[in-house]
Amino acid sequence: MKWIFLFGIVFSLGSSIAKDARDVQVANLETFSRLYGYVRYFHPSDEAASIDWDQFVIYGANRVKALESREALKDVLESLFRPVAPTLQIFDIGAKPVLPQLPEGNDQLKVVAWQHWGLGGIAWDGTYQSKRTHRNPPLPGGHYLVMAQQIPDLGKYVGKTFKLEAEASFERKDYGAQARLMLAFIPKDGNQPYHTSREPLILSQSLKSTSYTAVMEDLTDTAVIGIQMTGVGHLRGDHFKFSVLLDDGSWKDIPIKNPEFNEKIEGTWPLDAMAESFNVKSVDVGGNSIVSIENKYQSLPEEDWENEFKELPAVHEMLERQIGSGLVCRFPMALYSDESGTLPKGNEALLTALNAELAKVETQKPVPEQYLGNAINIWNMLQHFYPYWNVVKVDFSAVLHNALRDLLEQEPDLADGDQIINGILTALEDSHAYCLLGGKRSITQRPFRVDRVEGQLMVVHSQHPEIKRGDVLLAANGMPAEDYYQLLYSRVSASPHGRKYWALFNLSRYEKDQTVVFDLARGDEKIKVSVADEDKPYEAPKKYNRIHEVEPGVWYVDLTRVSYKEAIPYMERFAKAKGIIWDMRGYPTGSVIPFVGHLLKESSLSPYWLVPRIIYPDQKDMLFSEYRWPIEPELPYLGGKMVLLTSPRAQSYAETVSSFYEAYDLATIVGQPTTGTNGTVVPRYLPGGYKLAWTGMRVIKQDGSQHHLIGTVPDILVTPTRAGILEGRDEYVEKGIEVILTQSAEAVQISKEQ
């Protein structure tokens, strides 16, 4: 008994010591995290601007992780940051070190300081840019390009396999840059192309054969072939060949224009997306012509920048912040510069040695050693630049603490590590936010959908032969469905109502290549259904055509499937209609803003787009550049009764469209609130091939009120019923018809009385 008692004491002491050591690790990493953000985004030295900060944060985090005490932290931080921040001071709280010696100004010196128009990065998309005054380094412009040509009149090959071949190489210059062949088919009905290739990626840095095959389905007769790239890099291609597999097993060549690039690219290989931001040309390599594609380097013109962004820290203005572990950092936010660079100069030997260490950091493939650095990197972007902390109330320092603790304690594999990092984004309540390996999700949709109907998790539509509408989901692979719903809810970044919607949406989505056993209730019967991953896109069946006269004089227009061009022939009929139901329960197909012009009698303005202007960390004294744009009335004017259908699946551009209906009272809004997330995203690529995105600007409604977390709010709330599900009815559309017919009848009655 005595030995058991002593063992308990020893075990308790061991656990306490381990916890204390872990607490020190976490605290040290939190201190490093704060210092990293301050120096990366606000220290103006040329040395700081010269290094790869994504490599630095991984290298630094792993050095700090190895420390066993707080006492060693200060020395390690100074050794890490001294090469890039010569004027940085790190000292204990309460200490009063002498300010660093800084040069006096004169007419020959320029002032260098950071100005952030949102958070800019390696690829400037025309919305956000970060730069230092009197430093205008060229930035890669566009980060997405398609070079492709259409091949028409292929209808006789429906159901057959097509193959696109080429020789290609790709040298990527940021972590998420990718290139691939493109083979897609355009449906005759005008919907989005399908079978756009996702694999294989072009990975070779020398010209190497690559190919992609796909089957052309019914209802199409046109292929699109070409090459595409995202991010910053250098793509080369040659010897394009397009063919179709015949019944006898042979491949028949299909003629394409300029496959060897011996002719001019213009007119043979049309460019799309951000073509003006790329250099695309034929070049001679050993007597052979190939296509060469590289990002152009550009930035906002200096004069435009200075007219818009006038705020600047004072010369030698000191930033002083407590960074944790009893330490304070201090450095000037604006420095003088001569022709040789910012003053005072740093130690070149230390900088060279640091860069040699950073070059050893793995950045191309995902490894666990990247997790701490990537988490710290993401946290700092959001801490200093996320524009919605005015309405999102969360202890974001605690979010950092928990993420670092979990990464240290769990030593996660790739999947679990990704989940911990995405937990940082969940705190944003931003449905634009994600961090994915290669920008792709590793889950696929099973062929049914679930919603909460009369308190139960109910199948609302299904294409699986053994799963029926009205079935109640009880469990998946043994996990109670309600528990799984709560887990999914905790992982969604969105408004509260958006989180509910996307958690329900994800109930039938699981890991690729996984067979899932679902427990379901059908009345009093309990059933089990095994569903394999068929890796096919699943879309909810639609009860109505894209443009449909649902009642005499009442039209239905699905803005998630129809284009403005497709609807033009119907405009005269729309003008004579009793009413129109505009369905915005999702993301629009192409530009649907022009429809709004036909509902207006006078000019209207968009929501307010507010781009942050930032010169201080932690969003101190953050200002905004304000933008709006108009929509003018168009003929014919559609004067019938209007209904707009909405749901939480509508976000971003869909909410820009719905905002006009709400702000200018253009329709009765029916359904459920939109998600409440709008604004241009900040795209980022991180070491390991991760793609990060989050909303980088603040959007407020036309009346100046809050949009984020609220969205477009319906006048009439609709929730599905069990009877409606079993009968296969669209209760949103039914309510829209009721609204139009009731309002039309009331209008007729008023007219008679008058």
Name the phi and psi angles at 382, rounded to 5.
-75, -40
Q: What are the Cα distances from residue 425, in Å, to 431, 493, 562, 575, 631?
A: 9, 6, 33, 46, 34
What is the separation, in whole angstroms, between the first and last Cα of the chain? 99
Helix ranges restricted to H, 411-513: 414-426, 481-491, 496-505
Per-residue pLDDT band for 317 (boundaries 50, 70, 90) equals very high
Per-residue pLDDT band for 309 (boundaries 50, 70, 90) equals confident
Q: Is the peptide bond before 187 cis (omega within 30 degrees of 0)?
A: no
Per-residue pLDDT band for 754 (boundaries 50, 70, 90) equals very low
pLDDT for 10: 43
Q: 736, 690, 695: which is closest to 583 by C-alpha?
A: 736
Percent of the chain at pLDDT exceeding 70: 90
What is the tens place of the pLDDT at every residue in 579-618?
A: 999 999 999 977 899 999 999 999 999 999 999 999 999 9
pLDDT for 444: 76
| Residues 484, 490, 493: CA angle, nearest 5 degrees | 125
Helix ranges restricted to H, 427-517: 481-491, 496-505
Distance CA 199, CA 208 (A): 15
Q: Looking at domain 144-298, which CATH architecture does it have?
A: Sandwich (2.60)
pLDDT for 349: 97
pLDDT for 216: 87
Per-residue pLDDT band for 11 (boundaries 50, 70, 90) equals very low
Coil vs helix vs strand at 341: strand
DSSP state of 439: T
Coil vs helix vs strand at 508: helix
* 415-437 average pLDDT score: 91
CA 505 to chain centroid: 18
The lowest-confidence range among 31-35, 192-196, 719-723, 726-730 is: 192-196
Q: Is the peptide bond before 552 cis (omega within 30 degrees of 0)?
A: no
pLDDT at 111 over 90: yes
Coil vs helix vs strand at 206: coil
pLDDT at 9 over 50: no
Q: 557, 540, 549: which is closest to 720 by C-alpha?
A: 540
What is the tens place of the pLDDT at every residue in 344-378?
A: 999 999 999 999 999 999 987 888 899 999 999 99
The lowest-confidence range among 376-380, 427-431, 441-445, 612-616 is: 441-445
Q: Indicate the pTM of the whole model.
A: 0.86
Per-residue pLDDT band for 440 (boundaries 50, 70, 90) equals low
pLDDT for 426: 97
pLDDT for 12: 47
Distance CA 668, CA 642 (A): 6
pLDDT at 567 over 80: yes
Superfamily, domain 547-753 = 2-enoyl-CoA Hydratase; Chain A, domain 1 (3.90.226.10)
Q: What are the Cα distances from residue 604, in Å, to 112, 629, 640?
A: 42, 9, 19
- Structure-token pair, residue 467: 């799963």
- Structure-token pair, residue 425: 């984004």
Helix (H) or strand (E) holding 210: strand 208-215
Distance CA 711, CA 656 (A): 10
pLDDT for 13: 45
Evaluate whether 224 touches 195 at the Cβ level (below 8 Å).
Answer: no
Evaluate whether 694 touches 429 at the Cβ level (below 8 Å).
Answer: no
Q: Indicate the domain borders of the chain.
A: 21-118+315-436, 144-298, 447-531, 547-753
pLDDT at 566 over 50: yes
What is the tens place of the pLDDT at every residue in 616-665?
A: 999 999 999 999 999 999 999 999 999 999 999 999 999 999 999 999 99
- Structure-token pair, residue 87: 């004027």
What type of residue sits at position 23? D
Per-residue pLDDT band for 199 (boundaries 50, 70, 90) equals low
What's the chain's average pLDDT? 89
Asked if the 447-531 domain carries CATH number 2.40.160.60, the reply is no
Per-residue pLDDT band for 187 (boundaries 50, 70, 90) equals confident
* 441-460 average pLDDT score: 88
Per-residue pLDDT band for 477 (boundaries 50, 70, 90) equals very high
Kind of pairing between the strands at 668-671 and 716-717 = parallel
Can you say whether the dihedral through the CA atoms of 218, 224, 227, 228 is positive or negative? negative
- Structure-token pair, residue 253: 């060549």
Per-residue pLDDT band for 16 (boundaries 50, 70, 90) equals low
pLDDT for 646: 98
Name the phi and psi angles at 671, rounded to 5.
130, -125
